Amino acid sequence: MKLSKAIIALSLLVLVWECGPGATSEPSLKPTAMEKPIAMVTPTEEPIVMATPTATERATLVVTPTEAPTPTPSPVEEERYAEARRQMVEYQIRARDITDEEVLRVMEKVPRHKFVLTQYLDQAYADHPLPIGYGQTISQPYIVALMTQLLNLKRGERVLEIGTGSGYQAAILAELTDEVYTVEIIKELEQQAEKRLKDLGYTNAKVKHADGYYGWEEYAPYDAIIVTCAPDHIPQPLINQLKDGGRLVIPVGPPGAYQTLWQLTRQGDKIVSQNILGVSFVPMTGEH
């Protein structure tokens, strides 16, 4: 009997030791890494502009990195995207220094979610750039609006874009003027952008696979040129293809570092330049 009581007492002691405050076998109340929700931090001072997709909606967004987004969202989704565009323009663009009403109008009109990869649809209207594959990005909405405003486009003017990417900037330009020419050095992106622009009805935007450093001489001269990748110097062929009075908006700087966004205006044989702000773009590539 004494031996049995001793065994019971020893068992209770072991149980207290294993389940006490410092025990390693105590079930954790903290979620594991897999259980923690993934939070997207949007670098903006304003409220998040889109509702987070439900689990069911998110499941439909997982595709290969280079696949285009689903072309026919439901009416409910389209209304959600339309509201996201309105908030994007109000909080990210108008609240800063974009005052051109035509630029604000087209930024609210063009469906940016049609130009991002499917897995980033929930971030399509967020205040930052997004990957589009092949080491390239779609620019932050504010930067798109700012560079477009700096072009001072008028209806009927001819504009050249260097760096088509997803085609989003070209679509913005095509809403503002009648002739848009855009050059992309990555063949796959050029093909995707050309189809996307055609599907969305932007028949006034012509896309070419080529090294953008050399512009697109066939349709020169241009009233405006916009460059959405950063060379380490201003390409002379682009200056040569500007009309007198033409504007060039371009980021310039070394790869892997911040660059400077410039607005240049051709006045006869002179170029008048204005330093706008510091930016960060993917570098211009090609043989030059």
Distance CA 239, CA 23 (A): 73
- CA 148 to chain CA centroid, nearest Å: 15
CA-only gyration radius of the chain, Å: 27
DSSP 120: G
- Cα 187–191–192 angle (5° rounding)? 120
Catalytic residue among 11, 139, 166, 273: 139
Closest CA to 124 of 53, 190, 175: 53
Q: SS3 for 36-79, per residue? A: CCCCCCCCCCCCCCCCCCCHHHHHCCCCCCCCCCCCCCCHHHHH
Q: Residue 121 is inside which H or E element, if any?
A: none
Bridge partner list, 250 = 262
What backbone phi and psi angles, to 5 degrees, belong to 246?
-70, 155
257 φ/ψ angles, rounded to the nearest 5 degrees: -135, 170
139 is annotated as an active-site residue: yes
SS3 163: coil
Own/partner contacts of 94-101, CB < 8 Å, gap of 24 or more, are 95/46, 96/142, 96/146, 97/146, 98/142, 98/145, 98/146, 98/149, 99/149, 100/148, 100/149
The Cα–Cα gap between 155 and 106 comes to: 13
Residues with catalytic function: 139
